[in-house]
Amino acid sequence: MSRTVAPSSYCDSSPTMVGRIHELERLLALLSVARAGRPSFVLLGGEAGIGKTTLAEALTREARRAGANVLTGRCYDLTMTPPYGPWTELLRSVALTPQRSGDLNGAQTQLDLFEHVWEIIARMAADQPLVLVLEDLHWADQASLDLLRFVGRRAESAPTLLALLVIATYRDDALRQQQLLSQMLAALVREARAERISLHPFDRATTETFLRTRYTLPKADESRLVEYLLTRGDGNPFFMSELLRSLEDEWMLRQSDAGWRVADLNRVRIPAIIRQVLDTRVARLTPRHSPHSGLPQSSVKMWGLFCGIPSAGWTIRNSRISSMRLLKRGCWWRCQTEVDSASAMR
Ligand SMILES: Nc1ncnc2c1ncn2[C@@H]1O[C@H](COP(=O)(O)OP(=O)(O)OP(=O)(O)O)[C@@H](O)[C@H]1O
Ligand SMILES: [Mg+2]
**Smallest-distance ligand from the CA of 46:** 1
Task: Tell me the pTM.
Answer: 0.79
167 C-beta closer than 6 A to ligand 1: no
pLDDT at 178: 81
pLDDT digits over 193-212, tens only? 999 999 999 999 999 999 99
Long-range contacts of 263-268 (CB under 8 A, 24+ apart): 265/224, 265/225, 265/228, 268/228, 268/232
**Smallest-distance ligand from the CA of 23:** 1
| Residue closest to 56 by CA, chosen among 199, 183, 190, 153 | 199
Residue 327 alpha carbon to ligand 2 centre in Å = 30
Tell me: pLDDT of 320 over 60.
no
pLDDT digits over 8-45, tens only? 233 334 458 999 999 999 999 999 999 999 999 999 99
- Pick 338 or 17 by higher pLDDT: 17
Residue 338 banded pLDDT, cuts 50, 70, 90:
very low
- Pick 79 or 235 by higher pLDDT: 235
72 C-beta closer than 6 A to ligand 1: no
Tell me: pLDDT of 334 over 50.
no
pLDDT at 302: 46
The preferred substitution site among 50, 175, 238 for testing ligand 1, maximizing ligand atoms within 8 Å of CB, is 238
Alpha helices in 268-322 (DSSP H): 272-283, 297-306
Instruction: Name the least confident of 106-115, 144-153, 156-165, 278-287.
Output: 278-287
Nearest CA residue ID for atom 2, ligand 1:
17
pLDDT digits over 261-306, tens only? 988 887 776 666 666 666 665 555 444 444 444 444 444 444 444 4
Tell me: pLDDT of 230 over 50.
yes
Strand segments (E) across the chain = 40-46, 69-74, 130-135, 164-171, 195-198, 253-256, 259-262, 294-296, 316-317, 320-322
pLDDT at 54: 97
Residue 140 alpha carbon to ligand 2 centre in Å = 13
296 C-beta closer than 6 A to ligand 1: no
Mean pLDDT for the stretch of residues 173-186? 85
Residue 75 φ/ψ region, left for φ over 0, alpha for ψ in the -120 to 50 degree band, beta for the rest: beta
**Domains defined for the chain, CATH in brackets:** 21-198 (3.40.50.300), 204-262 (no CATH), 272-345 (no CATH)
Atom of ligand 1 nearest to the CA of 202: 1
48 C-beta closer than 6 A to ligand 1: yes
Residue 240 carries which side chain, given as an amino acid letter? M
Give the CA diameter of the chain.
Answer: 75
pLDDT digits over 85-141, tens only? 999 999 987 755 444 555 565 667 899 999 999 999 999 999 999 999 999 999 999
Q: For the chain, what's the residue count?
A: 346
235 C-beta closer than 6 A to ligand 1: no
pLDDT digits over 238-257, tens only? 989 988 988 888 888 998 88
**Interatomic CA distance for residues 105 and 183, integer angstroms:** 27
